[in-house]
Amino acid sequence: MEKRVVITGMGIYSCLGKSLDEVRQSLYDGKSGIIFDPVRKEMGFRSALTAYLEKPDLKGQLSRNQRAFMPEEAQYAYAATVEALRNAKIDQDYLDAHEVGLLYGNDSTADAVVKSVDTMREKKDTTLVGSGAIFQSMNSTVTMNLGCIFHLKGINLTVSGACASGSHAIGLGALLIRNGLQDMVVCGGAQEVNPFSIGSFDGISAFSTRESDPTKASRPFDRDRDGLVPGGGAATVIIESYESAVKRGAPILAEILSYGFSSNGDHISTPSVEGPARSLKAAINNAGIDIRQIGYINAHATSTKVGDMNEAKAIIEVFGDHKPFVTSTKGQTGHEMWMAGASEIIYTMLMMKNNFIAGNLNFENPDEDSAKLNIPANRINAHFDTFLSNSFGFGGTNSTLIVKNL
Amino acid sequence: MEKQELIEKINQVLAEEFEVEQSVITPDADIRETLSLDSLSLVDMVALIEEQFGVKIKGTELSSVKTFGLLYDFVFERM
């Protein structure tokens, strides 16, 4: 028999704040986390816009040897996971005594790779890259670090699905629990925030160049959008079977009703309408609900011309006359890429639990397609109990999660 | 560099990198125990010595450099 999958803890480290409380307030206030980074301009970037967040100071929390293996995205993921476990009322004794899994979205660790290669080229001596370089340089760096730090003993692997990585990680974790293969999985997404990691992305003219007004640059669904703004950090969601949550008296926050996925099988960077629409339909079918129960859609919309347009078309195709509220929180955060699918579940959970929807920042004028969606430009007080969250990525990978309030 | 100056410098960089008080670094103390080095962080110590003092400790030589006193001698003789 299939098991119900519930969310019992969340933690976040993002440009909107270093805790759930800070992030909730930033969402409520419509704060932007975007800045102009002069270092990127010196490096020859077309756009020097980025989300800004400080690196966590983990000295005193983790040993020198543990920290040596952690690139920035693993540090963000650690901070988010500490908060999520605490909120889920899970201590180290529980983790030691149970087979808890770990599925985290991550699709690059460029900073560590670039720095170790630079050292090898300059010094001609591999010893000088240090013992941490190999562990920092692998794409699975987040899961290998968290698995060892928290002594996790269940499934342990990184999900690399481009900008849908975090969403796929949660979806796959939910499938494992639904089928009885795990009782609890620590899921999430992490994204490094440094120039090396996205220089090549800047090179394909994907980023907004509205450098004179950084907080206005990320403008999903707006007629005058001119590209995305890169962001990052990490977000952790603790998911478990309903039985497990009840048994240990955990705070049950919401239920993951379904995971839909699809692949465009088409262009490597240009998204389609048909692929995402299939992902939405799959999630709705798997959830077994009427679409009218969905009160809010957290869109993938990254502030690119074609991406936002095609997502709007897909939503219109699938939802027809039903017009739930739709926003993209990327207006505030920029595109958190590998992390986005997980962080946006948390942003939406915070809004759902606090009865508001953050305004779609910088949505000043609709285009032909976004005009057909119900997009609040400013914060509204609204109650919704079921939401849908989209994440799409390069290579045409699509993921959709539907979550219900409990 | 005088030997005493070298000793002080070695103590300083090791204490800073491996986050220990300089006072625990004494000539007779075991390097691996004092700095909590495992097979991986031992590589970092080798890299640090090479970077700071230009002296490479080869794998075959490493097993004989057990104490800080032996490390001071090893580095001083090769500088």
- Amino acid, single-letter form, for residue A7: I
CB contact under 8 A, B38 and A125: no
Instruction: Tell me the nearest-neighbour CA distance from A65 into chain B, angstroms.
Output: 7
d(CA A254, CA A353): 10
CB contact under 8 A, B46 and A131: no
ipTM of the complex: 0.91
CB contact under 8 A, B51 and A65: no
Taking CA B13 as the corner, what is the angle to CA B12 and CA B16, rounded to the nearest 5 degrees? 85
Mean pLDDT computed over A124-153: 97
Among the listed residues A15, A163, A168, A187, the single catalytic one is A163
Residues from chain B contacting residue A59 (CB–CB below 8 Å): 19
CB contact under 8 A, B41 and A131: yes
Give the CA count within 13 Å in the CB-facing half-sphere of A333: 35
Residues from chain B contacting residue A65 (CB–CB below 8 Å): 36, 38, 40-41
d(CA A380, CA A358): 7
Residues from chain B contacting residue A127 (CB–CB below 8 Å): 43, 46-47, 50, 56
Sheet of A233-241: strands edge to edge? A156-159, A101-105, A184-191, A233-241, A5-14, A254-263, A397-405, A386-393, A296-298, A325-327
d(CA A245, CA A90): 11
Q: Are A287 and A402 in contact (CB under 8 A)?
A: yes
Please tell me which residue of chain A has the smallest CA distance to B49. A128
Mean pLDDT computed over A186-208: 97
Active-site residue, A98 included: no
Mean pLDDT computed over B58-63: 92
Residues from chain A contacting residue B51 (CB–CB below 8 Å): 128
Rounded (10°) angle between helices B39-53 and B3-18: 140
pLDDT value for B1:
78
d(CA A18, CA A25): 11
Instruction: Tell me the nearest-neighbour CA distance from A121 into chain B, angstroms.
Output: 15
In tens, the pLDDT along A281-340 reads: 999 999 999 999 999 999 999 999 999 999 999 999 999 999 999 999 999 999 999 999
Residues paired with A402 in a beta bridge:
A258, A388
DSSP track, A108-140: --HHHHHHHHHHHHHHS-GGGG-THHHHHSSTT
Instruction: Give the contacts of A130 (CB within 8 A, at least 6 positions apart).
Output: A68, A116, B43, B44, B47
Q: String of b and e for A280-302 (b: at least 16 CB within 10 Å)? A: bbbbbebbebebebbbbbbbbbb
d(CA A29, CA A35): 17
Q: Are A348 and A401 in contact (CB under 8 A)?
A: no
Mean pLDDT computed over A8-32: 98
Mean pLDDT, all residues of chain A = 97
d(CA A381, CA A85): 29
In tens, the pLDDT along A79-133 reads: 999 999 999 999 999 999 999 999 999 999 999 999 999 999 999 999 999 999 9
Confidence band (pLDDT; 50, 70, 90) for A201? very high
Taking CA A289 as the corner, what is the angle to CA A405 and CA A175, rounded to the nearest 5 degrees? 70
Q: How many CB atoms lie within 10 A of CB A49?
A: 28
Among the listed residues A15, A168, A187, A335, the single catalytic one is A335
d(CA A400, CA A258): 8
Residues from chain A contacting residue B34 (CB–CB below 8 Å): none
Identify the H or E element spanning A191.
strand A184-191
Picking from B18, B41, B47, the nearest residue to A127 by CB comes out as: B47
Q: Are A102 and A147 in contact (CB under 8 A)?
A: yes
Share of chain A above pLDDT 90, in %: 100
Active-site residue, A300 included: yes
CB contact under 8 A, B17 and A131: no
Give the position of tokens 């603790």: A238
In tens, the pLDDT along A257-276 reads: 999 999 999 999 999 999 99
- Chain A: residues touching B (Cβ < 8 Å): 59, 63-65, 68, 125, 127-132
* Pairwise pLDDT comparison (A239 vs B59), residue with the higher score: A239
Share of chain A above pLDDT 70, in %: 100
Instruction: Give the contacts of A317 (CB within 8 A, at least 6 positions apart).
Output: A273, A277
Count how many pairs of residues, chain A against chain B, have C-beta atoms within 8 Å: 32
Q: Are A72 and A192 in contact (CB under 8 A)?
A: yes
Q: Choose from B21, B49, B51, B62 for mutation: most chain A CBs within 10 A.
A: B51
pLDDT value for A1:
81
Q: Where are the alpha helices (DSSP H) in B1-79?
A: 3-18, 31-34, 39-53, 59-62, 68-78
Please give the backbone phi and psi of residue A335, each rounded to the nearest 5 degrees, phi first: -95, 110
Give the CA count within 13 Å in the CB-facing half-sphere of A102: 25
Q: Choose from A61, A66, A131 for mutation: most chain B CBs within 10 A.
A: A131
- Chain B: residues touching A (Cβ < 8 Å): 17-19, 36, 38, 40-41, 43-44, 46-47, 50-51, 56
Among the listed residues A15, A168, A187, A300, the single catalytic one is A300
CB contact under 8 A, A65 and B41: yes
Active-site residue, A383 included: no
Assess whether pLDDT exceeds 90 at residue A350. yes
In tens, the pLDDT along A44-90 reads: 999 999 999 999 999 999 999 999 999 999 999 999 999 999 999 99
Please tell me which residue of chain A has the smallest CA distance to B20. A64
User: Hey, what are A353's tokens?
Assistant: 């639990």
Q: Choose from A62, A127, A135, A144 for mutation: most chain B CBs within 10 A.
A: A127
pLDDT value for A28:
98
Picking from B18, B47, B50, the nearest residue to A64 by CB comes out as: B18
Spatial CA neighbour of A209 closest among A223, A228, A195, A231: A228
Q: Are A34 and A52 in contact (CB under 8 A)?
A: yes
User: Hey, what are B49's tokens?
Assistant: 């010595």
Residues from chain B contacting residue A129 (CB–CB below 8 Å): 47
